[in-house]
Structure 1
Amino acid sequence: MRRDDRRADGPAPAVLALELLVHGVAGASPGELLGDPRTVRVTGDSTAAVFRRTEDADAEAHPERYAGRPVPEAYCWSRLTSGNGARALWLLLLPFMVANLAHWARPAGTSPRAVRTYGVLVRILALSLTVLLIAAACEVALDLFAWQCAGAGSCAGSRFSSLSFLAPGGGWWAEPGRRLALAALVPAALTGLLWYLSNRTWSAYESQPPPVGSADPDTASDAVPALGRPGFWYGRRLVARLRAAHTAAGLLTVAVAVSVPTARHDRGPAGAPVLESVGWATQGLLAVVAAAVAWVVCRRGRTEDRADHHLDRAAVTLLPGAALALLVAVLVHACWARPGWTSAGRLPGDLAFGVLMLGQGCCVLALAAVARYLHRRAPDPTTALGGLGGPAVGMLGCALGGVMSGGVAQRVADWLDGGAVPGTPGAPLPGPPVLLTWQAAVLPPLLLVLALPAAWFTVRGVRERRGLAAGIAAEYPGETPDGPRSRRIAGARAAAALTDSAPWFVGAVSGITLLLGAGALAGAWIGGRVPYEAARGTGPLLETAARTAQDAGSWLIGFGFVLFVAWGRRAYRDPSARRTIGILWDVGTFWPRAAHPFAPPCYAERAVPDLTWRMTGWTDRTGGRLVISGHS
């Protein structure tokens, strides 16, 4: 017998099998998953990695040891959602995350044009939230501090001695244009911080490439589910494109906040013709770059049929660069000497916030119309709110953005005004725009109205728990009834059943918020005064109600923001609280960043490629079998 024949007749070589353990939302350490504290990292990094027990590190070299049993490995990804303490700061990005979820709440539809229109509307809504956040930062830094507080000698000189160099007669920086230019560095730095966080997470999450061959659209079948499409988990190009557009929009917002009051002065009797011409030129360029930002946001959406990793270099680099150059030009123009210019009243922020709020409302209504159209063409009884789940979530994101921006402005204004109410007669400062005060005033009525459905859901849950507890003992014949345990089981079941009613609660919140927001916008534009002043002369009852709503809303919106920050600070220090926030991110950041690039990153765009690479790498290299053991 030849040597080759003897080898063919001998026992077949052992083929390894692999069991890949993947923990759930609560997270677990490699030692807990593998049942051994001695582990070694096989692939990955400090954020997400695959581990083995130390004794299994050389399993490929000794397959005979694993006859009849697989090699256990553990994929740990909990740091993608609840990693270090800095993740607690992601709470400030909550409106962006909610706006991103509106994209994924779109009803299934068969009209490509309507689907594209829905995506464009969601991206425009997300862009308006970025502009709103930066505009709120401009309101605090430019209007309240640099324009009102520093412009009033009593505020800057007595209460804030550190701002005395900005007060009238304080030196070179005392001119209003130079004060605005200096204060503009704050919202510009905030825009840069958002860009940095988005770019850093983009490099760690969306930049993961797919395995070779998996992105070939010719090999994909029409029967492949949506989450298995070649480009579903690879959004590198879109996020980079949107990040450039939103960064440019933030910088343009700062530039407009400085340019508008400067140009208004230059066009007055005391303005210089040369400065007026420069102002017209810069504002024209700002309009051109803003149109380019809108085109970049509307032009391209997600591409899921293939994993497209080609970056739009022109949009990614030129757009933020052009916006930054324009901002520098505007700041230099504002710092030019303008003798006799004084700051009085408010900056023209009422119109800006009003246009933003009106635009968001119209965008949500248009989104609702498109969603209903899609749902009617392909009705599905399981679709939330009859197809209106996406618009409801989008409205919720706008409400969160409005509360956060209005809360910061109102809280800072109350702090600067001491014991006075900003915007009322006798107050040292005019305060924030009237619309932000109206937003605060509608918060107490909103909470009162929402208390009704909340109470109804609570009563319903208590009744369901009592009804379930009575029948749980019958499900265990022959066992001694345990009342407390039966009630705990009934409570868990009733709480799980309430999640089916969550879409209706979100819909009620969104609908009521839309109506009250429209009332606040009408009150601010028609009355032109804060609620208490607008109600003056209408009778003691209405005056008292308006004053109570304004004071309570100002206190609630400030308290809510402080509580929000305190929760984030606690999560920064407390790992258990950080895990709770991690669960929130696990629910909210499962989906890719399809609408807002500043939202917390999608952990699945890192986890899915990690698992895909490990699976294909193992089977292609060893030819062995693989079992996924997943939890939650």
Structure 2
Amino acid sequence: MELLVHGVGGTTPEQMLGDPRTVRVTGDDTAAVYRRAEDTEAKDSHRDEPVQEAYVWCNLTSGDSSRALWLVLLPFMVVNLAHWMRPAAPGRHRAVRLYGLLVRLAALTLTVLLVAAACEVALDLVAWQCAGVHDCTSRHSWLAFLAPGVPAARAGHDTWWSLPGRRLALAALAPAALTCLLWYLSHRTWSAYESHRPMSHDPEPDTEGSALALPGFWYGRRIVARLRAAHTAAALLTVAAAVAAPPAAFDHRPGGPAALDVLSWLLTAALLACAVAAVAVVCRRGRSENLLDQRLDRQLVSGLPLGALALLLLTMVYAGWARPGWRSTGRLAGDPAFGTLMLAQGLLVVALAVVARDLYRRSPDPRAGMRGLSGPAVALLACALGGVMSGGVAQRVADWLDGTHALLPGPPVLLTWQASTIPPVLAVLLIVAAGLGMRTARLARAERDRVREEHPGEPEDPGRTHAIAQVRAMAALTDRAPLVVAVLTVTTLVLGAVALAGALATGKTPDGAARRTYDVMQAVAETSQALGSWLVGLGFILFVTWGRRAYKDASARRTIGILWDVGTFWPRAAHPFAPPCYAERAVPDLTWRMATWTQRTGGRLVLSGHSQGSVLAAAAAWQLPPSVRGRIALLTYGSPLERLYGRWFPAHFGPPALAALRRDVACWGNLYRLTDPIGGPVRVPDDTTPEVDHAPLRDPLAYGRTPAHPLPAPILGHSDYQADPDFARERARLLNRLRPELPRQRPEPVEPGVPTGEPG
């Protein structure tokens, strides 16, 4: 049998099997295995061609257009990627655990940052600043009931909601609702994805292989539940702290009410104790991969968020207490909180870089992205993305509330400076894009000579030569991704330092000759801040629109599908609010199907994976028991196993892991094209076995018109590998090498009362 696994963008079973009549053999509407209708009753043990089955998993990552909102969770997904990007370090268990701990703490700061930004918008800008100014509430009539001094029932006094503490308590419902929404999405996807149990088998004795072979790797149910409880509690505590801080500052003044002063200190102590408990949960040991950990810390999972919610409710009651003479003026003290968060994230990223560099020096891999620093770089970009989104949204809302820019103090200075970094980042990206464009043009000119050399004796067609060379040069851009990430990382560091320095220098006007320079810099900063504010609003609209289109349009999905499918391939080991891991459903599906089919029939099986499907195929092969793994042939084509995963995730797809997979499966063949921007050679470092990588396939199949190709052959790039004649030859070669001593396939038994399939 040949089990086909499709790649990025998905496809239909009819397209995969080349037949309009297909039958679902096993599975559901989300992911299933299909056969041709004529093969459902195939029991002929002497057929020469293998029976084909198609595993369709595209519904795991697509679906209705509402899933486009998952793109808003991009910072969480990116920081989760950093967890899996650590360098390979056999035997360095303590350093590996420290690396995971630092990433989990950085992920926790991102949750706090997102909720703190929501608090800044709802509590500070809306409830504290705008609702406390009559000119602002007159422009926004929906806030009139919160304005102080508005006549109520024809009596000239404040309304019940106009007291500052009650306005804060009411506004706190918005970030609390956001937290509940994140909890709900995480819990729902946790029940749907992390609930699928992999096949149970003993841990692999080979410590030099990949951790993907461990029985508990694709079962992160316990750690996601623990992290969800901790992050939910931290988010609710952030809201509670934002509500409690202003009334506590008022109560601590000399001559303030003693009872409220004592209550504020008790609430502060309770909030700190609960925060320490949440951080302690995050600091506990991470994933249990050596065993299938089926336990759930039910008391912790339910008790910690409920305790934080109770403290939030108490804080809202405390803030709503009447305090004569208390008025909302200026802005809330958000700069120290956001500055502390930014400093904590910087220190965590620096510590992560030190650990990653130490791990890399113990086992250097020249092909690894950024020499082992890809994980810290991606973690920094996740923090920067969260900061830019927070600052941009806060600045955009402030501009919307304060049309004249004279009514409100606006968001904290640090958030304003973070929003101002958006135009410089875009400018750097344009410069990088221009540089890559020039390099691509030079590479295309060099490729033209190679294309001419590959087709000697054929009439020259300059247009055809240029098209082939251009596609090859564009495909090579994938290998420049580490450079782009490195440039973005350096830019982020520099702009982060500028933003912090600008926030600290705000309000300190120099004298003398330095005044003119200061005025110029201030004007540039204000222009950048305004432009950044509008770019955030435009970017958010484009973000969601592009995401909705990606789930409806296959071509648009392929454009962003690489990053998205790579990001959601990995389990949620660092951030529980990241989009769910589809592989925790797909890998057990494939493993169960292969293991049960070989056990029932004793037949030979070719596991055939295209693009991202080749990564799922490799992960499923690792999860098979060794006795079954030795009966499997692996055929990959257009595969990013080494080109993307091996370079960016060396601990799990590095040279030792791929070499171990080659030794464990019966045989392995890999096909790729020079015009493919995703697939490439797997470069298995093992000279004792036959070559895994096939020579690069011809693309196009014919340069000019030939009797076999009377019309111009298309440049296929990443698609239609099965249309190449070398594909069928490679599959036949693998079948011939699949343990010739194995008996012919036994007829697959049909259980009584169980239908053979459903029409597809």
TM-score scaled by length of structure 1: 0.90
1:355 Cα deviation after fit: 0.3
Distance 1:436 1:34, change over 3 A: same
Is 1:24–1:631's contact at 8 Å kept on the other side of the alignment? yes
- The corresponding residue for 2:363 is 378
Pick one of 154, 160, 169 that aligns with 2:140: 160
- The corresponding residue for 1:268 is 253
**CA distance in 2 between partners of 1:450 and 1:207 (Å):** 41
**CA distance in 2 between partners of 1:428 and 1:578 (Å):** 44
Deviation by residue 1:261-296 (Cα, 9 ceiling, x = unmatched): 121112224632222222211111110110011111
Distance 1:68 1:472, change over 3 A: closer
**CA distance in 2 between partners of 1:493 and 1:64 (Å):** 44
- The corresponding residue for 1:185 is 173
Gaps of 5+ in 2: 151-158, 612-760
Identical aligned pairs, as a percentage?
A: 60
**CA distance in 2 between partners of 1:534 and 1:404 (Å):** 31
Give the match's secondary structure for 1:20: strand
- The corresponding residue for 1:411 is 396
1:119 Cα deviation after fit: 0.9
1:521 and 2:509 aligned: no
**CA distance in 2 between partners of 1:359 and 1:66 (Å):** 66
**CA distance in 1 between partners of 2:365 and 2:359 (Å):** 10
- The corresponding residue for 1:4 is none
Is 1:82–1:581's contact at 8 Å kept on the other side of the alignment? no
1:443 Cα deviation after fit: 3.6
Pick one of 218, 221, 228 that aligns with 1:243: 228
Pick one of 295, 304, 317 that aligns with 2:289: 304
Pick one of 464, 469, 478 that aligns with 1:499: 478
Distance 1:52 1:162, change over 3 A: same
Distance 1:454 1:542, change over 3 A: farther
Pick one of 174, 179, 187 that aligns with 1:199: 187
> What amino acid maps onto 1:620 in structure 2?
Q
> What amino acid maps onto 1:384 in structure 2?
G
**CA distance in 2 between partners of 1:223 and 1:311 (Å):** 30
- The corresponding residue for 1:399 is 384
1:311-330 equivalences under 5 Å are 311-330=296-315
1:24 and 2:7 aligned: yes
1:424-463 equivalences under 5 Å are 427-463=406-442
Deviation by residue 1:499-548 (Cα, 9 ceiling, x = unmatched): 2222122112112211221221122134357xxx7899834454234313
Distance 1:539 1:224, change over 3 A: closer
1:314 Cα deviation after fit: 2.7
Pick one of 98, 102, 124 that aligns with 1:117: 98
- The corresponding residue for 2:520 is 544
Distance 1:300 1:558, change over 3 A: farther
Deviation by residue 1:569-622 (Cα, 9 ceiling, x = unmatched): 343256113454444311222222111111111221111111111112222334
Give the match's secondary structure for 1:602: coil
- The corresponding residue for 2:114 is 133
> What amino acid maps onto 1:102 in structure 2?
A
Give the match's secondary structure for 2:514: coil
**CA distance in 2 between partners of 1:556 and 1:481 (Å):** 51
Pick one of 294, 303, 309 that aligns with 2:279: 294
Distance 1:573 1:116, change over 3 A: closer
- The corresponding residue for 1:607 is 586
Deviation by residue 1:403-448 (Cα, 9 ceiling, x = unmatched): 111110000011111042xxxxxx1000000101122234444444
Give the match's secondary structure for 1:42: strand
**CA distance in 1 between partners of 2:511 and 2:338 (Å):** 22
Pick one of 566, 571, 579 that aligns with 1:587: 566
1:559 and 2:535 aligned: yes
**CA distance in 1 between partners of 2:520 and 2:228 (Å):** 47
Distance 1:579 1:45, change over 3 A: farther
Distance 1:476 1:285, change over 3 A: same
1:285 and 2:273 aligned: no
- The corresponding residue for 1:83 is 63
**CA distance in 1 between partners of 2:148 and 2:46 (Å):** 82
> What amino acid maps onto 2:120 in structure 1?
E
Q: Which has the higher helix share?
A: 1
Give the match's secondary structure for 2:61: helix
- The corresponding residue for 1:475 is 454
- The corresponding residue for 1:7 is none
Distance 1:113 1:64, change over 3 A: closer
- The corresponding residue for 2:596 is 617
Deviation by residue 1:300-347 (Cα, 9 ceiling, x = unmatched): 212222222212223211111111111111112112222221101111
- The corresponding residue for 1:8 is none
- The corresponding residue for 1:9 is none
1:42 and 2:22 aligned: no
- The corresponding residue for 1:73 is 53
> What amino acid maps onto 2:103 in structure 1?
V
Deviates more, 1:66-75 or 1:178-187: 66-75
Is 1:125–1:363's contact at 8 Å kept on the other side of the alignment? yes
**CA distance in 2 between partners of 1:473 and 1:195 (Å):** 59
**CA distance in 1 between partners of 2:50 and 2:423 (Å):** 60
Distance 1:482 1:39, change over 3 A: same
**CA distance in 1 between partners of 2:87 and 2:196 (Å):** 29
Distance 1:446 1:323, change over 3 A: same
Is 2:420–2:532's contact at 8 Å kept on the other side of the alignment? no
Is 1:361–1:514's contact at 8 Å kept on the other side of the alignment? no
**CA distance in 1 between partners of 2:453 and 2:536 (Å):** 46
TM-score scaled by length of structure 2: 0.75
- The corresponding residue for 1:12 is none
**CA distance in 2 between partners of 1:162 and 1:560 (Å):** 24
Distance 1:534 1:27, change over 3 A: farther
**CA distance in 2 between partners of 1:394 and 1:414 (Å):** 30
**CA distance in 1 between partners of 2:598 and 2:60 (Å):** 26
Give the match's secondary structure for 1:629: strand
1:453 Cα deviation after fit: 3.9
- The corresponding residue for 2:686 is none
- The corresponding residue for 1:142 is 123
Deviation by residue 1:156-208 (Cα, 9 ceiling, x = unmatched): 1x111111000003411111111011110100111111111111111221211
Deviation by residue 1:342-377 (Cα, 9 ceiling, x = unmatched): 101111111000000111111111111111111122
How well do the aligned residues superpose, as a CA RMSD in angstroms? Answer: 2.2
1:452 Cα deviation after fit: 4.2
1:65 Cα deviation after fit: 8.4
Distance 1:35 1:451, change over 3 A: closer
Distance 1:331 1:304, change over 3 A: same
> What amino acid maps onto 2:170 in structure 1?
L
> What amino acid maps onto 1:152 in structure 2?
V
Give the match's secondary structure for 1:63: coil
Distance 1:466 1:542, change over 3 A: farther
**CA distance in 2 between partners of 1:437 and 1:193 (Å):** 27
Is 1:114–1:370's contact at 8 Å kept on the other side of the alignment? yes
1:478 Cα deviation after fit: 2.4
**CA distance in 2 between partners of 1:536 and 1:103 (Å):** 51
Is 1:25–1:586's contact at 8 Å kept on the other side of the alignment? yes
> What amino acid maps onto 1:616 in structure 2?
A
Give the match's secondary structure for 1:51: strand
Give the match's secondary structure for 1:21: strand
Distance 1:619 1:613, change over 3 A: same
Gaps of 5+ in 1: 1-17, 421-426
**CA distance in 2 between partners of 1:485 and 1:566 (Å):** 36
